[in-house]
Amino acid sequence: MKDQFYAYIQDLQNKITQALNDVDGKAKFKEDVWKRSEGGGGQSRIIENGAVIEKGGVNISAVHGQLPKSMQAYFKIGEVDFSACGLSLVIHPKNPMAPTVHANWRYFEMYDNKGVLADQWFGGGQDLTPYYLFEEDAMYFHQQCKQACDKHHPDFYKDFKKQCDRYFYNEHRKEGRGVGGLFFDYLKKDKNFNIKDRFDFVTEVGDVFLDAYLPILNKRKDLPYSKNNRDWQEIRRGRYVEFNLIHDKGTLFGLKTKGRIESILMSLPPHVQWRYNYEPDQGSEEFKLIAALKNPREWI
Amino acid sequence: MKDQFYAYIQDLQNKITQALNDVDGKAKFKEDVWKRSEGGGGQSRIIENGAVIEKGGVNISAVHGQLPKSMQAYFKIGEVDFSACGLSLVIHPKNPMAPTVHANWRYFEMYDNKGVLADQWFGGGQDLTPYYLFEEDAMYFHQQCKQACDKHHPDFYKDFKKQCDRYFYNEHRKEGRGVGGLFFDYLKKDKNFNIKDRFDFVTEVGDVFLDAYLPILNKRKDLPYSKNNRDWQEIRRGRYVEFNLIHDKGTLFGLKTKGRIESILMSLPPHVQWRYNYEPDQGSEEFKLIAALKNPREWI
C-alpha cells in the first residue's frame, strides 16, 4: 500500500506541476531533492515570481524511522516505528481576486515493537482561501469535492466538509481560514471499508484537485485590481501565516519529525502585512469576505 | 506591590511613548483602552507609518481572575486565581539599518484556594534584533544592560544574558532571533532578595531601556539603504514572526488567557516576506548577520 500510494503521489505531483506550469507561462517549478537523516526524504517543487503564481509548492515526501518522542505523546504510544508519505501543496496566486489553495493527501503506517504493521490510515483534503469572495467559485469548488465524495459514500461530503470548517479555523480570530472544502483523517479499514477502498477514495479526491481549482484560477488570474485590493490580500495572508504557525497540526508534525524546514514553510505567502486592528468598511467587499469566514456556509 | 508596579509601568509607558514620538516626528502613538471580560484590561499604544517607526506598540495591561485551564496545566496547579500586569513593547523601525527592539517587564501573583497570596514573581527583559549587524550597537546595548544588572548582583548580567540567548532562539531554524540582551523570569523572594529588591532590579532595567535603544535608533534611522536591504529586512522579519507565533511563551500566554488579540499581535512586523530557501551570498553583510545569530557571542 505504501509503495502504491507513493507511486500515485509521484504521478500526481507531475500532473499538477505540469498543469500549473502551463497556466503560469512565465515561471516553472524547480525541484529540490532532500534526505531526512532519521530516514526517508522528499522532492519539493517550488515556483516563485510567476506571471500567475506568486509562490507555490507541490511537495512529496516519504519519511520513516522511530516515532519522535513528541509524537509518541501525541499518539499515546511508546517507542515504535512509523512510516508516512504524502503530497502537500499550497498555491499563492499574485492576483488578489484569485484564491489561495491548499491540498494534502497522506498515508501513515505505525508498527508494533516487533516491527509488524499495527495500524494504517489515510488523511487529507483540499480547501480554498479567497481574498475576495466570488460565491460561484466557492460553490464550484465544493461541487467538485462533493462529486468525488459521492462516488464513495453519501455521508462523506457532509462529514468532511464539516471537519474542514472545524480544522481550518483561526480560533484566536474566531474566523475560518477560508471557505473550506474537505478535510479527513484517520481513515482506517473498518467493517464498511477495507484499506483499498480508502486508497480509492483518497486518490479520487486527489484526481479531482486540478478540475476543482484550475477553472477558478483561470477565471480570476487576469482580473484588474488596485493597490488597495493587493494590500487586503497581504493582510489576509497574515491570517494564513497565523493559522499555519499557531494551529496547523501538519506544520507542527513536520517540525517535530524534523522534516525539511524550507519544504514545510513553503506554505507561507511571499508578501504579507500586519496592520494594527485593521477592519474593512461595513458593506465593502472585504467586509463580505469576513462575514462569510465568521459563519461557515453550506455552499451546495 | 501590584499597585506599586502598575504605577511604575504606567509612568514608564508615558516616558517611552513620549520619547519615541519625539524621535519619529511624523506619527504619534494612539491609545486603545480595552477590558478583559474575565477581569482586568489594558492600554495599548500603537504607532504606525511614522518617519522612523514603521510599526510599534508600547502596551500595558493588568489581568486577573481564575487561572485558565491551560495555564493550570502549565504551572502544575489546580483552580486558583491569578493576577498579572506588565508592559510589553516592540518597535519595528522603517530603516533596515536600525534594529527592532523588544522589551517586557511583568509581575505575577498567584493565590491559594482561599484567595491568599501564595506566590509572586517578576519577569522581563529586553533584546535587540538587527537586520544588519553593527557590532558597536550590540556592544552598546549589552553594556547598558550590564550596568543596570551590576548595581544589583555581579552574576545577573551573565545569567540573564545567557537566558536571553536561550529563550529567543528559533529552534527550527537553529539560530537566535537577534543579538540578545536580558531575559529573566520567576524572580521570587529568597534568602538573598526580598520582593522589594526584585522590584528595584526590574525597574532599574526598565529605566535603562531608553538609554539603551534610543542612541542606536538615532544613529541608524537616517542611513541610506537599497531595495535589497529592505527585502532582506522583510525576509528577516519573517523569522521574527516565526519565533513569536511558534515559540514565544508570552504570545501563547496572551492567547491562552484570552488577552486582546490585536494587542498581543501588535508585535508582528508591518511588511514581511517569505522566499523559498533564501540564503545570502557568502561573505556579504547579510551572511555576517546570520553567522552572529548561529553562534551567540559575548558582546562585552
**Any idea where the domains of chain B sit in the sequence?**
2-294
Say what the pLDDT of residue B68 is: 83
Distances (CA, A) of A225 to A64, A131, A141, A164, A192: 46, 12, 23, 30, 49
Structure ipTM: 0.94
Residues 11-40 of B with CB under 8 A from A: 32
User: Nearest by CB to B173, which of A261, A266, A270?
Assistant: A261
Say what the pLDDT of residue B300 is: 93
Task: Using an 8 Å CB-CB cutoff, list chain B residues near A276.
Answer: 46, 48, 55, 57, 262, 266
B68 vs A103, which has greater pLDDT?
A103
Task: Using an 8 Å CB-CB cutoff, list chain B residues near A270.
Answer: 273-275
Distance CA B89, CA B213 (A): 12
pLDDT digits (tens, 9 = 90+) for B248-270: 988 887 887 777 899 999 999 99
Q: State whether A277 and B32 contact (CB < 8 Å).
A: yes
**Taking the model in full, what pTM does it have?**
0.95
| Residue A247 appears among annotated catalytic residues | no
User: Nearest by CB to A268, which of B55, B261, B274?
Assistant: B274
CB contact A271 to B (< 8 Å): yes
Say what the pLDDT of residue A41 is: 92
Residue in chain A lying closest to B268 (CA)? A274
Distance CA B166, CA A47 (A): 35
| Arithmetic mean of pLDDT, A155-177 | 96
CB contact A242 to B (< 8 Å): yes
- Nearest C-alpha of chain B: how many angstroms from A31? 12
Task: Using an 8 Å CB-CB cutoff, list chain B residues near A234.
Answer: 271
CB contact A186 to B (< 8 Å): no
Q: State whether A48 and B275 contact (CB < 8 Å).
A: yes
- Nearest C-alpha of chain B: how many angstroms from A288? 21
Catalytic residue chosen out of the listed positions A102, A152, A153, A247:
A102
User: Nearest by CB to A245, which of B32, B245, B255?
Assistant: B245
Distances (CA, A) of B54 to A278, B267, B285: 15, 12, 23
Task: Using an 8 Å CB-CB cutoff, list chain A residues near B32.
Answer: 277
Residues A149, A155, A157, A162: what is their CA dihedral angle, to the nearest 10 degrees? -150
Does residue A135 have a pLDDT over 80? yes
Q: What is the interface size between A and B, counted as CB pairs within 8 Å?
A: 72
Please, where are the H alpha helices in chain A? 2-24, 69-75, 135-150, 156-167, 195-220, 227-242, 249-256, 261-264, 285-294
Task: Using an 8 Å CB-CB cutoff, list chain A residues near B277.
Answer: 32, 46, 262
Does residue A253 have a pLDDT over 80? no
Q: State whether A261 and B46 contact (CB < 8 Å).
A: no
Does residue A67 have a pLDDT over 90? no
CB contact B231 to A (< 8 Å): no
Q: pLDDT under 50 in chain B at which residues? A: none
Say what the pLDDT of residue B275 is: 97
Say what the pLDDT of residue A75 is: 80
In this prediction, residue A110 has a pLDDT band, given cuts at 50, 70 and 90, of: very high
CB contact B258 to A (< 8 Å): no
Say what the pLDDT of residue A158 is: 98
Q: State whether A46 and B276 contact (CB < 8 Å).
A: yes
Phi and psi (nearest 5°) for B179? Answer: -95, 15
CATH of domain B2-294: 3.40.1500.10
| Mean pLDDT over the full length of chain A | 95
Q: State whether A274 and B46 contact (CB < 8 Å).
A: no
Full 3-state SS string of chain B: CHHHHHHHHHHHHHHHHHHHHHHHCCCCCEEEEEECCCCEEEEEEEEECCCCEEEEEEEEEEEEEECCHHHHHHHCCCCCEEEEEEEEEEEEECCCCCCEEEEEEEEEEEECCCCCEEEEEEEEEEEEECCCCCHHHHHHHHHHHHHHHHCCCCCHHHHHHHHHHHHCEECCCCEECCCEEEEEEEECCCCCCCHHHHHHHHHHHHHHHHHHHHHHHHHHCCCCCCHHHHHHHHHHHHHHHHHHHHHCHHHHHHHHCCCCHHHHHHHCCCEEECCCCCCCCCCCHHHHHHHHHHCCCCCC
Residue in chain A lying closest to B49 (CA)? A275
